Structures are given as structure tokens and as C-alpha cells.
């Protein structure tokens, strides 16, 4: 891939992710039964090994919601939320006043899993529509542990240690309450080719 094309490719991916995250917010709104808006979604490529630092260091306690993506564009989606933020997000999802959730029991984990599931599905649907490629997520897995241990899950499947992955950052707003969520998109190696080919075909057509 030459540099100009790589840049173009990244822009296209960023646009797709942008549409995906807005779509995901609609899914979340439907789930919580109230209007949930997304502000300032940003998409950028970051080296994988920098992720733990961005999340406060590899030893920071966090919650990971993990989806394996199957279909025409296989890959992985990981949503990582620092632990205190995850408690806020659980309150927000379950419609509780802020500060209600003190720890993540089975109920709260299940709510977060559902949130990740919905977000992931809506996100994938948007990308699938845009690129004309079908994909579906696995049931979500919720991991509560150190950031480093959570990110190991991705490395176990895809050898991306020295590569760049897509980071999507978005702020979710509901009734003046705001929670930030970060997603990491890690396409399998041949998925990049599949999407690139599809884009090329669309450009040519």
C-alpha cells in the first residue's frame, strides 16, 4: 500500500467508524429508553503497545467488553472502560442515580455486556451497510481485571503488538450526564485487504 492510498484508506475507515458509533448511540438509546447522544466521536490509528498508557497504565483496573467478529470482515472489538467509569456506565444503563453501583455483580456485568453487545452490533451493521460486507458479533465477554491482562485477549488472537489499531473515542450524553467510552477495532489481517478491495471496487464503479 503506498502512502497516499494508505491515508485514503484510513479516512474511509474513519468515516465508517464515525457512522458506526452514531448508529451505536441509537442502539443504546433504544436500550435505555431515553435519548442518548454521542458527541465528538474521534477515530485515529494508534500503535497497539501505546494502548495501556492511554488507559492509565497496564496495571489499572478496568472493564473490558470483548466481541469477536465473524463473517466477511472477521476481527475483534474491545471496549475498555476504567473501573470507576464502568460503575457510572452501569448506573447510566440501568437508570440508577449516579453513585448507586459500588461494585460489579452479575446483574451489572450483564447490563454492561448487553451494552457492549448492542453497541457492537449497531456499529457492525453500519460498517456492513457502508462496505456491503456482512458481519456479526459473538456473544460479549466481560472481563474485569488489569488493563494489560485485558489487552492480552486481543494479542492471543491477532499478532498486532507492533501494529496500529483503530481507536474510536466517543462521549455518551444522557440527561446532562456524560460518560466516555473507548473502542478498539482490530481487524484480522486479511480483513484489511477485503475492505480495501471493496473500496477500490466502489471507487472504480
Partner 1 sequence: MQDNLAVGLGEYKISHTVSDVLVAYGLGSCVGIGLYDPQLRLAGLLHAVLPSSPNGAVEKSAKYVTSGIELLLEEMIKAGAVPSRIIVRMAGGANMLTAPGFAHTFNIGTRNVEAAHETLQRLRLRLVAEEVGGTIGRTVRFYVRDGRMTIRTVGNQEREV
Distance CA 102, CA 105 (A): 9
- CB-wise, 148 or 196, nearer to partner 1? 148
In Å, what is the CA distance from 58 to each residue of 147, 156, 181?
A: 5, 16, 18
Q: Does 153 bind partner 1 (CB under 8 A)?
A: yes
Answer whether 173's CB lies under 8 Å from 92's CB: no
Binding range to partner 1, per CB under 8 A, among 31-39, 122-130, 150-158, 165-173 = 150-158
CB 140 within 8 A of CB 65: yes
Phi and psi, residue 79, nearest 5°:
-105, 125
Rounded to an integer, what distance in angstroms lies between the CA atom of residue 117 and that of residue 155?
21
Exactly one of 145, 169, 171, 196 binds partner 1 (CB under 8 A); which one?
Answer: 145
31: number of Cβ within 10 Å? 17
Q: Is 66 one of the binding residues for partner 1 (CB under 8 A)?
A: yes
Distance in angstroms (rounded) separating the CA atoms of residues 100 and 16: 36
How many residues can be counted in the chain?
Answer: 205
**Using the rule CB under 8 A, is 110 a contact of partner 1?**
no
- Let me know: does 21 contact 37? Beta carbons within 8 Å: no
Binder among 157, 169, 180, 198 for partner 1 (CB under 8 A): 157
Q: Map residues 13-32 to x or -, x wherever contact with partner 1 holds by CB under 8 A.
A: --------------------
Q: How far is the CB of 167 from partner 1 (least distance, A)?
A: 17
31-60: contacts with partner 1 (CB under 8 A) = 49, 52, 57-60
Angle between helices 3-32 and 106-131 (to 10 degrees): 130
Q: Is 204 in the site for partner 1 (CB under 8 A)?
A: no
Question: How many residues interact with partner 1 (rule CB under 8 A)?
Answer: 28
Q: Does 141 bind partner 1 (CB under 8 A)?
A: yes
In the bound state with partner 1, the residue whose beta carbon lies nearer, of 21 and 67, is 67
Residues in the site for partner 1, rule: CB under 8 A? 49, 52, 57-61, 66, 68, 138-139, 141, 143-153, 155-157, 159, 161
Amino acid at each position: 500500500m503506498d502512502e497516499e492510498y494508505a491515508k485514503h484508506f484510513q479516512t474511509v475507515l474513519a468515516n465508517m467508524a464515525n457512522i458506526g458509533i452514531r448508529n451505536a448511540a441509537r442502539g443504546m438509546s433504544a436500550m435505555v429508553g431515553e435519548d442518548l447522544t454521542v458527541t465528538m466521536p474521534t477515530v485515529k490509528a494508534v500503535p497497539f503497545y501505546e494502548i495501556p498508557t492511554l488507559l492509565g497504565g497496564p496495571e489499572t483496573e478496568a472493564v473490558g467488553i470483548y466481541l469477536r467478529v465473524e463473517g466477511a470482515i472477521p476481527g475483534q472489538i474491545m471496549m475498555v472502560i476504567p473501573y470507576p467509569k464502568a460503575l457510572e456506565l452501569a448506573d447510566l444503563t440501568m437508570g440508577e442515580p449516579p453513585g448507586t453501583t459500588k461494585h460489579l455483580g452479575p446483574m451489572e456485568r450483564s447490563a454492561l455486556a448487553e451494552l457492549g453487545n448492542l453497541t457492537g452490533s449497531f456499529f457492525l451493521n453500519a460498517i456492513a451497510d457502508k462496505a456491503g460486507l456482512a458481519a456479526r458479533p459473538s456473544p460479549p465477554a466481560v472481563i474485569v481485571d488489569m488493563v494489560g491482562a485485558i489487552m492480552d485477549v486481543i494479542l492471543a488472537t491477532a499478532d498486532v503488538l507492533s501494529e496500529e489499531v483503530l481507536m474510536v473515542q466517543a462521549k455518551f450524553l444522557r440527561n446532562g450526564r456524560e460518560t466516555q467510552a473507548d473502542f478498539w477495532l482490530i481487524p484480522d489481517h486479511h480483513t484489511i485487504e477485503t475492505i480495501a478491495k471493496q473500496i477500490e471496487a466502489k471507487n472504480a464503479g
